Amino acid sequence: MSDATSVNAATPVPDAVHLRFLLVRGLPLLVAAVEPHGRGPQLLAALDERGLPSIDGFLGVDLPRGARIGFMVEPRELRLVDEQDATLLRAARADVDHDWLQAARRVRGTMLVVLRDAVLSPDEDPRDLARRIDERARAGAASGAIVGVVEERPKLPLLF
């Protein structure tokens, strides 16, 4: 996701959070790179408060479980929420990779990796990204876990 927010019409500010949706051996992986400006520091603090643990590596490492966050798939957006349904991060549904979403629905979860002070490129080879994630994790600049993904089902109105 590389949308931009703006302070005023003349000064666009690039988004501090970039998302990349991938499949690793058929399993969903969402990588979030968080820059140290804008909403980045608040998001990192919120993830720390909700138990997203630091990881020591990525390649050959099982991600932990137990973070008190998960993804809610809605008709218009994907939201990262906590146990009280407070939204920590939003992505437009149109920006969510279809294959990632199908896999996340199938297993009802995703691997989530958050890179601190990093930027993602949509053109970076997934293998190169995996190596970079591993390097950042070994340097103490990554956190991650396996988190749930649930889809809000449309509700029919009650007719009397």
What residue ranges do the domains of the chain occupy? Answer: 4-150
What DSSP string runs through 83-132?
TT--EEEEEEGGGS-HHHHHHHHHHTEEEEEEEET----TTS-HHHHHHH
- Which strand (E) or helix (H) includes residue 98? helix 98-107
d(CA 27, CA 99): 10
| Count of C-beta atoms within a 10 Å radius of residue 60 | 6
What does the block give as tokens for 76? 């218009």
| Count of C-beta atoms within a 10 Å radius of residue 89 | 21
d(CA 135, CA 58): 8
* pLDDT digits (tens), the chain, 160 positions: 333 222 333 444 467 899 999 999 999 999 999 999 998 999 999 999 999 999 999 999 999 998 999 999 999 999 999 999 999 999 999 999 999 999 999 999 999 999 999 999 989 999 999 999 999 999 999 999 999 999 976 665 655 5
142-151/109-116 β-pairing: antiparallel
Its sign, for the CA torsion 85, 90, 92, 95, is negative
pLDDT, residue 24, reads 92
Closest by Cα among 147, 77, 143, 74 to 110: 147
d(CA 156, CA 108): 23
